Amino acid sequence: QGGNNAGHTVVVDGKEYDFHLFPSGIINPKAISFIAQLKSYFSLYLLTGLKDWEKRLIISDRAHIVFDFHQAVDGLQEVQRQAQEGKNIGTTKKGIGPTYSSKAARTGLRICDLLSDFDEFSSRFKNLAQQYKSMFPTLEIDIEGQLKKLKGYAEKIRPMVRDGVYFMYEALHGSPKKILVEGANAALLDIDFGTYPFVTSSNCTIGGVCTGLGVPPQHVGDVYGVVKAYTTRVGIGAFPTEQINEIGDLLQSRGHEWGVTTGRKRRCGWLDLVILKYAHMINGFTALALTKLDILDVLDEIKIGVAYRLGGKRIPYFP
């Protein structure tokens, strides 16, 4: 789920990779990596230091395309929110929200559209671009230039594109395979269950496995909740355990806490178990992968958020 708004730093044999779109399994020469949801091509051709990745990457024909104007509109919307409300959402400006809007409005374009009739694709692309230009008069779009670029991308990715639903069906029912699904963004950034409106536009919870890949629920096995030994957040939004002091600074510097996608400093605070329990209610973790415990090594005392009070009363839920 999601798109190239998520940033995953992966270190293997001392070499660091920053992934925004690729599943981290792309590093493993024996693994097949499959991209099922929103895409921005531009990330595909920036991958360096990996050999033959094109041979082990498959892209779903149903994946929606993030266009340049989606990214431009993302930035314009943030400026608008700041001007009207005095605050923005803090998006990565990677075009994810506008692309999901196009998807929900049924005007979005998918990989299958790009690879079939290019004349029809061009016509729908122009209509979509005009819609955004009418909403944002300052928006400039080089329509012909974009279409030329997209036609070139189409031929480059054509060998990688497959029917995603059938690919997953074969993977689940063919010869036994180990299948690992990697989610982007955190549970509290989920469009439905996160700290709305300071969320992303996709479902970052376990449900995304079913809706994003077309995998039936009975095939979901173990669910790993990946959680740091402290809590962080990029951008604005509620953060009860945040430490705007030397503790927060220490976690930020020792933990190298800045967003891989935006370069923004992450806000840091003590581990919030209320959030963790809430994420567990929705996802049903069978195990937790606790990371960055060593960042706390230098502290004599470690605090943990254990409960919320609302109106003076302790509450058992995440409000």
Q: Which residues are catalytic?
A: 103
Alpha-carbon distance values, 33 to 36, 214, 218, 224 (Å): 10, 16, 22, 19
Three-state SS string across 262-296, please? CCCECEEEEEEHHHHHHHHHHHCCCEEEEECHHHH
Q: Any idea how long the chain is? A: 319
As a whole number of angstroms, the distance between CA 149 and CA 271 comes to 46
Positive/negative CA dihedral, 191, 197, 198, 200: positive
As a whole number of angstroms, the distance between CA 231 and CA 270 comes to 6
β-pair partners for 35: 59
As a whole number of angstroms, the distance between CA 120 and CA 105 comes to 18
